[in-house]
Amino acid sequence: MDDTHDANSDPVDLSVDLAGVRMQNPVMTASGTSGYGPEYAPYIDINALGAFVTKSVTLRPREGNPQPRTVETASGMLNAIGLANVGLDRFIADKVPYLGTLRVPVIVNVAGHNLEEYVAVCRALDDVPCVAIVELNVSCPNVEDGLDWGTDADRLKRLVSATRAVLNRAKLMVKLTPNTGDVAALARAAIDGGAAILSMINTLRGMAINVDTRRPMLANVTGGLSGPAITPVAVFMVHEVYEKVAREAAIPIVGMGGIRTWRDAAEFIIAGASAVAVGTATFIDPRAPLAVVDGLENHLRRHHIARIADLTGTLTR
Q: Which residues are part of the catalytic machinery?
A: 140
Which residues are CB-contacts of 268 (< 8 A; sequence separation ≥ 6)?
234, 235, 238, 255, 256, 257, 259, 276
| Nearest alpha carbon to residue 148 among 111, 201, 185, 105 | 111
- Cα Rg, the chain, nearest whole Å: 19
Q: How many CB atoms lie within 10 A of CB 214?
A: 7
Contact status, residue 87 vs residue 128, Cβ threshold 8 Å:
no
Contact status, residue 166 vs residue 120, Cβ threshold 8 Å:
no
Q: Distance (Å, rounded) from C-alpha 172 to C-alpha 162?
A: 11
Residue 48 CA, chain-centre distance (Å), reads 18
- Dump the DSSP string for 197-262: EEEE--PEEEE-EETTTTEESSTTSEEEEESGGGHHHHHHHHHHHIIIIIHHHT--EEEESS--SH
Residues in the chain: 317
SS3 of 296, please?
Answer: helix
Q: Distance (Å, rounded) from C-alpha 188 to C-alpha 286?
A: 34
Provide the pairing of β-strand 209-210 with 171-175.
unpaired
Amino acid at 279: G
